[in-house]
Amino acid sequence: MDLRLISTPLTADQKIAVCPLDEVKAQARVTHADEDALIRGYIVAAYDFLSGPDGWLGHCCLLQETWETHLPSSLSWRHELPMRPFAGTALASFDRLLADGVTYEPVNTGHFHVAFNSGIASLVRATSAPYGYLGAPRHNAYRVRFVAGFTPVDEPLGVPEPIRLGMKMLAAHWYRQRETVGEPTPEVLYGLRNLCGRYRVSHDHS
């Protein structure tokens, strides 16, 4: 997949803010501070396990990040954006490659719009837009930049409470089980499948 992160990578502190240390310690019934650094590592690991292009949730961002993807000159009338949830109502930018093969210029905003279907955003070409890409076939004929991630609302940083609970379950489980000894407990599997699972989208959208 032609997808790359172009915003500054999230710090450990930003990821931990989704599930603060004290909440995870309460989940794991830890009252001392001797292993705070260890538990912080588990929180970051739980975040990374769920979020991102390869995360368990399936191309989902928890915190907002800016992504760039390139589309070929054979761009169809609709192209699904590879990360979700789409933040805002507009793309950060949408450009086309010029004949020099290096320079990009903005695409006329009247030639496309962003459409949504079950939380998945797609770039849709307007019926009035010129058909196809004028120039030699290129794999990077178009450059799309967009922001994905949950929008901050009443919940901490906008991340849904079921996902936060799943993160806490994962971090607490890894704290208690220092080595890989088999499948996660039924409670942890419940947290992923029945809590976080409602936000999961597989590659075939099942």
Look at residue 93 in the predicted model and tell me its pLDDT.
Answer: 94
Look at residue 205 in the predicted model and tell me its pLDDT.
Answer: 47
pLDDT truncated to tens, each residue of the chain (206 aa)?
689 999 999 999 999 999 999 999 999 999 999 999 999 999 999 999 999 999 999 999 999 999 999 988 877 788 899 999 999 888 999 998 888 889 999 988 888 889 988 778 998 888 776 655 555 678 888 899 999 999 887 566 799 999 999 999 999 989 988 776 555 667 677 778 888 988 998 755 44
The rounded distance, in Å, linking the Cα atoms of 52 and 5 is: 10
Listed by start position, the domains of the chain span 3-61+153-199, 68-146
The rounded distance, in Å, linking the Cα atoms of 129 and 110 is: 8
The rounded distance, in Å, linking the Cα atoms of 109 and 106 is: 8
Whether residue 79 contacts residue 143, with contact meaning beta carbons closer than 8 Å, is answered with no
Residues 6+ apart with CB under 8 A from 134: none
The rounded distance, in Å, linking the Cα atoms of 60 and 83 is: 6
pTM: 0.88
The rounded distance, in Å, linking the Cα atoms of 112 and 182 is: 49
Look at residue 206 in the predicted model and tell me its pLDDT.
Answer: 46
Q: Which superfamily is assigned to 3-61+153-199 in CATH?
A: Phage gp6-like head-tail connector protein (1.10.3230.30)
Look at residue 45 in the predicted model and tell me its pLDDT.
Answer: 95
